[in-house]
Amino acid sequence: MRRALSALGALFALLLAGCGGGGGDSLVVFGASSLEGAVSEYAESFPGADVKTSFAGSDQLVAQIRQGAAPDLFASADTGYPAQLHREGLVGKPRVFAANQLVIAVPAGSEISSLADLAEPGVDVVVGDPSVPVGAYTRTVLGRLPATERRAILANVRSEEPEVSSVVAKLEQGAADAGFVYATDAESAGEKVRTVAIPRRLQPDVAYAAAVVAGAEDPAQAERFLDGLIHGKGAADLRRAGFLPPP
Amino acid sequence: MRRGSWFAALAVLAAVVALAFLLVPVLAVFANVGPGELLEALGEVEAREALWLSLRTTLLALAIVVAVGTPAAYLIASREFRGRALVLTAIELPLVMPPAVAGIALLAAFGPRGILGPAISGAGIELVFQTAGVVVALVFVSAPFFLRQAIASFAAIDGRQLEAARTLGAGPFRAFVTVALPSARTGLASGLALAWGWALGEFGATLLFAGSLQGVTQTAPLAIFADFSRPDGFVSALALSAVLILVSAALLLGVKLLGGERALEGAQRP
């Protein structure tokens, strides 16, 4: 019994040791859901630090930071959230590091071929929640449409998803007929989905900004990570995933 | 110092720590949101619709669970058969399944590309993005709570009572209604309360399987999640959380008052 107890104690200590804040050379990056593929790849090869990443809707990451979460770098799918956090003194000055395009994704084999098709009755459309950047961009596009078409499309919205990856998942499952996602997400979804372009005059300006979080353990390291996203290995990974250079 | 007294002190300390750790987050919800703010946040359309939807879907799910689960539990409890342990394990599996896994599993089964998807849409039934889909998710995650308790309660009935009813000429249905149901009622009621509490809190399976749309599929837990990430949404999230905590506390208290603990002990019996 005594031996079992001490073994349990040792195990407990071992597990606990893994729960600490990590050593000095670890870097925690909060990234928008759409950045997952490219930034994970960059993070794995980043020299000098063990990079831990957490991907979610940018708005969720903002809420976490406001509630006291302390990553070293925050990379958002828009420029608005980092600017807000900067004004609140929670992050340093944001820098734009990539751009993207909004597209309509449809399951492979779908007959939808234009934005106007989404206004047809019975088309199940999935969008992002208004607070997540992809949802905000979607509403920008819809806001540029004639009122009747906008209302018809909004009436077809079946779900407001918390992040772009769950919009893509709903399409891959064949649950929805169309969804508004980033071009990069549609690309990484592969053959299960096809994209329908959104006309240039309706395109929102999709720009990604990142900022070093106030109180980062090693701000210089975080800046180096961000530098690499702007021009370096990270930028190359972003381009390969289909992200555009910052405007 | 007497041997063992240090252990008593340690146990008291452990109890205080455990209680504080469990209570502080719950109390913090109420400390963060005053009654005025709470009422104001609950007056918002989104919150009201979410609570109303939660009420409707959980009650519907419970009705289905009780209607199907009660006779099923009675059968399982009153028969000895091979593989009984396996059946019981299968029933309890959703209890320990992560909610996201439950959502994926439901999609794989009943989603448009799921194994039963074509049959379901062929029958003209739509689940994904529909309130009906929320109910399906709630039934899946809450049924095990009721079934487990119901099986234990039926199994605890003295078999001689049922036999007596049968010798007096009662058919199986009459024996079930006049003897089994009344004897098991406290156990059934506490199983029902636990299932309700769990259904009210369901999040992952609903989001993955049914989606999230205000008034259609956005139940209170989903609204809390959406609120959390909205600017200034933290107060609404706290207000909805406070309501769910109060309802859950009432349900748990109900279980205790019903003597559900005895029924829970019954669950341990073979």
> Do B57 and B91 belong to one domain?
yes
> Do A59 and B111 count as a contact with CB atoms less than 8 A apart?
no
What's chain B's average pLDDT? 89
- Tell me which chain B residue has its CA closest to the CA of residue A124: B129
Q: Do B214 and A124 touch (CB under 8 A)?
A: no
Instruction: Give the best residue of B32, B129, B216, B241 to mutate against chain A (max A CB count within 10 A).
Output: B129
Nearest to A162 among B129, B216, B226 (CB): B226
Cross-chain Cβ contact B212/A60 below 8 Å:
no
pLDDT at B4: 67
A contacts of B228 (beta carbons < 8 Å): 60, 63
Point out the residue among A126, A130, A173 whose CB comes nearest to the CB of B112. Answer: A173
Q: Are β-strands A125-128 and A157-161 bridged in parallel, bridged antiparallel, or unpaired?
A: parallel
pTM: 0.84
Provide the pLDDT for residue B269: 41
Contact A53, A31 (CB under 8 A): yes
How many domains are there within chain B? Answer: 2
Mark whether B13 and B120 lie in a shared domain.
no
Q: How many CB pairs under 8 A join A and B?
A: 68
Task: Give me the mean pLDDT over the B47-53 stretch.
Answer: 94
B134 with B26, same domain: the answer is no
pLDDT, position B3: 61
Report the pLDDT value the prediction gives residue B266, as an integer from 0 to 100.
46
Which range has the worst mean pLDDT, A147-156, B2-11, B13-22, B118-127?
B2-11
Interface test with B, best of A166, A168, A170, A177 (most B CBs within 10 A): A170
Please report, for residues A81, A115, A166, A173, the alpha-carbon distance to residue A238 in angstroms, rounded to integers and kept in the order given. 20, 27, 21, 26
For B159, half-sphere exposure in the C-beta direction (CA atoms, 13 angstrom radius) is 5
Burial class of B138 by CB neighbour count within 10 A (0 to 12, 13 to 18, 19+): buried
Cβ B50 vs Cβ B213: under 8 Å: no
Q: Where are the alpha helices (DSSP H) in B99-257?
A: 99-110, 117-122, 131-155, 159-167, 172-175, 181-201, 204-210, 220-228, 234-257
Q: Which tens digits make up the pLDDT trace of B172-189?
A: 888 888 889 999 999 999
A159 reaches B (C-beta below 8 A): yes
pLDDT band for position A135 (cuts 50, 70, 90): very high
Q: Do A158 and B233 touch (CB under 8 A)?
A: no
Q: What is the pLDDT of residue B18?
A: 96
**pLDDT tens for residues A163-209?**
999 999 999 888 899 999 999 999 888 888 999 999 999 999 999 99
Q: Which domain holds residue B24?
A: 1-32
Nearest C-alpha of chain B: how many angstroms from A45?
30
Residues B9 and B120 in one domain: no
Q: Are residues B43 and B28 in the same domain?
A: no
Give tens-digit pLDDT for B214-244: 999 999 999 999 988 887 788 889 999 999 9
Residues B96 and B54 in one domain: yes
Check whether B268 has a pLDDT greater than 70: no
Kindly report the nearest CA distance between residue B218 and chain A, in angstroms: 9
* Of A90 and B42, the one with more pLDDT: A90
Cα–Cα separations (whole angstroms), residue B67 to A35, A166, B143, B225, B249: 47, 34, 11, 32, 25
Contact present, B206 and B217 (Cβ < 8 Å): yes
Of the pLDDT bands very low, low, confident and very high (cuts 50, 70, 90), residue B270 is: very low
Contact of A108 with chain B, judged by CB distance below 8 Å, is answered with no
Shared domain for B155 and B210, answered yes or no, is: yes
Distance from the B201 Cα atom to the nearest Cα atom in chain A, whole angstroms: 18
Mean pLDDT value across residues B75-101: 90
Per-residue pLDDT, B169: 82
pLDDT score of A1 more than 70: no
Domain shared by B85 and B59, yes or no: yes
The verdict on B116 and B26 lying in the same domain is no
Which residue of chain A is at minimal alpha-carbon distance from B229? A60
pLDDT tens column, A24-44 = 578 999 999 999 999 999 999
Chain B: residues touching A (Cβ < 8 Å)? 107, 111-113, 117, 128-129, 207-208, 210-214, 216-218, 225-226, 228-231, 233-234
Domains of chain A and any CATH numbers: 24-100+207-240 (3.40.190.10), 102-202 (3.40.190.10)
Does residue B75 share a domain with residue B19? no
| A63 in contact with chain B, both atoms CB, cutoff 8 A | yes
Whether residue B99 sits in one domain with residue B166: yes
CATH number at residue B238: 1.10.3720.10
- How high is the pLDDT of residue A143? 96
